[in-house]
A and B are shown apart, each in its own frame.
Chain A
Amino acid sequence: MSGADTSHSDYVGGLFRSHYDWLCSRLHRHLDSRAHAEDIAADTFVQLLSSPGVVPIRQPRALLTTIAQRLMYQLWRRRDLERAYLDALDNDETSTAPSPEDLAQMLEALQAIDHLLDGLPAKVKATFLLSQLNGLTYPEIAAELGISQRSVSDYMARALNRCLRLCLE
Chain B
Amino acid sequence: MNDELIDTATHWYVLLRSGQATAADWQRYHQWRASDPRHEALCQQLETRLGVFQIPQAQGVSGKVLQQALDAPSSRRQVLQVALAGAGVAIGAALLAKPMGLSELTADIRTGTGERRTVTLADGSELLLNAQSAADIQFDSQRRLVRLREGELLAKVASDRNRPFQIQTDHARLHAYGNRFLVREREGQGQVVALNGAVQIDRQDGERLQLAAGHEVHYGPTGFGPVEASSSAATAWVDGFLQVRDRPLAEVIEALRPYHNGVLRLDPGVAGLRVSGLYRLDNPQQILDTLARTLPIHITRRTGLWVTVSAA
Could you tell me which A residues sit within 8 Å of B by CB distance? 16, 28-30, 32-35, 38-39, 42-43, 45-47, 50-51, 54, 56, 59, 61-63, 65-67, 69-73, 76-77, 80-81, 83-92, 94-95, 97-100, 102-103, 105-106, 108-110, 112-114, 116-117, 122, 125-126, 129-134, 136-140, 153, 156-157, 160-161, 163-169
CB-based closest 8 A-B pairs: A137-B19, A84-B72, A88-B68, A85-B69, A129-B63, A109-B55, A97-B302, A167-B45
CB distance from B225 to the nearest CB of A (A): 21
CA distance in complex: A139, B17 (Å):
11
Q: Which residues of B contact A112 (CB under 8 A)?
A: 52
Q: Which residues of B contact A39 (CB under 8 A)?
A: 102, 106
Beyond A80-B72, A138-B18, 9 additional contacts (C-beta under 8 Å) are A33-B170, A34-B170, A65-B84, A76-B77, A81-B70, A84-B68, A112-B52, A134-B62, A157-B14
CA distance in complex: A125, B69 (Å):
12
Q: Which residues of A contact B91 (CB under 8 A)?
A: 54, 63, 66-67
CB distance from B114 to the nearest CB of A (A): 15
At the interface, is chain A mostly helix, strand, loop or mixed? helix
Query: Residue on B with the closest CB to A54?
Result: B95
Q: Which residues of A contact B19 (CB under 8 A)?
A: 136-140
- Asked whether A88 lies within 8 Å of B65 as measured between CB atoms, the reply is yes
CA distance in complex: A150, B11 (Å):
14
Which of A38, A100, A113, A166 is within 8 Å of B149, CB to CB? A38
CA distance in complex: A167, B68 (Å):
25
CB distance from B153 to the nearest CB of A (A): 14
- Asked whether B10 lies within 8 Å of A160 as measured between CB atoms, the reply is yes
Which of B76, B93, B95, B102 is within 8 Å of A42, CB to CB? B102
Asked if B162 is an interface residue, CB under 8 A from chain A, the answer is no
Q: Which residues of A contact B96 (CB under 8 A)?
A: 47, 67, 70-71
Which of B89, B93, B304 is within 8 Å of A62, CB to CB? B89
- Asked whether B305 lies within 8 Å of A100 as measured between CB atoms, the reply is yes
Q: Which residues of B contact A161 (CB under 8 A)?
A: 6-7, 10
- Asked whether B14 lies within 8 Å of A106 as measured between CB atoms, the reply is no
- Asked whether A45 lies within 8 Å of B105 as measured between CB atoms, the reply is yes
**B 43-72 to A, binary, CB cutoff 8 A, 1 in contact else 0:** 001100110110111010111111111111
Q: Which residues of B contact A62 (CB under 8 A)?
A: 87-89
Given A34-B149, A62-B89, A133-B53, answer yes or no on A126-B73 (Cβ-Cβ < 8 Å).
no
Q: List 30 A-B contacts (CB under 8 A).
A: A29-B83, A30-B76, A30-B83, A32-B187, A34-B149, A47-B95, A56-B89, A65-B84, A65-B87, A67-B91, A73-B74, A73-B77, A77-B77, A85-B65, A88-B64, A88-B68, A91-B68, A92-B62, A92-B65, A95-B65, A100-B303, A103-B305, A110-B70, A116-B52, A117-B70, A136-B19, A137-B18, A160-B14, A161-B6, A167-B45
Query: Residue on B with the closest CB to A136?
Result: B19
CA distance in complex: A32, B187 (Å):
6
Query: Residue on A with the closest CB to B83?
Result: A30
CA distance in complex: A130, B79 (Å):
33
Q: Which residues of B contact A129 (CB under 8 A)?
A: 63, 66-67
Q: Which residues of A contact B20 (CB under 8 A)?
A: 137-138
Could you tell me which B residues sit within 8 Å of A by CB distance? 2, 5-7, 9-11, 13-14, 17-20, 42, 45-46, 49-50, 52-53, 55-57, 59, 61-74, 76-77, 79-80, 83-84, 87-96, 98-102, 104-106, 134, 149-150, 170, 187, 263, 301-306, 308
- Asked whether A109 lies within 8 Å of B305 as measured between CB atoms, the reply is no
CA distance in complex: A51, B1 (Å):
31
- Asked whether A132 lies within 8 Å of B89 as measured between CB atoms, the reply is no
- Asked whether B99 lies within 8 Å of A43 as measured between CB atoms, the reply is yes
CA distance in complex: A62, B45 (Å):
35
CB distance from A149 to the nearest CB of B (A): 8
CA distance in complex: A133, B53 (Å):
7
- Asked whether A133 lies within 8 Å of B57 as measured between CB atoms, the reply is yes
- Asked whether B88 lies within 8 Å of A69 as measured between CB atoms, the reply is yes
CA distance in complex: A134, B134 (Å):
45
Q: Which residues of A contact B56 (CB under 8 A)?
A: 106, 109, 113, 133
CA distance in complex: A81, B52 (Å):
16
Which of B13, B70, B95, B308 is within 8 Å of A114, CB to CB? B70
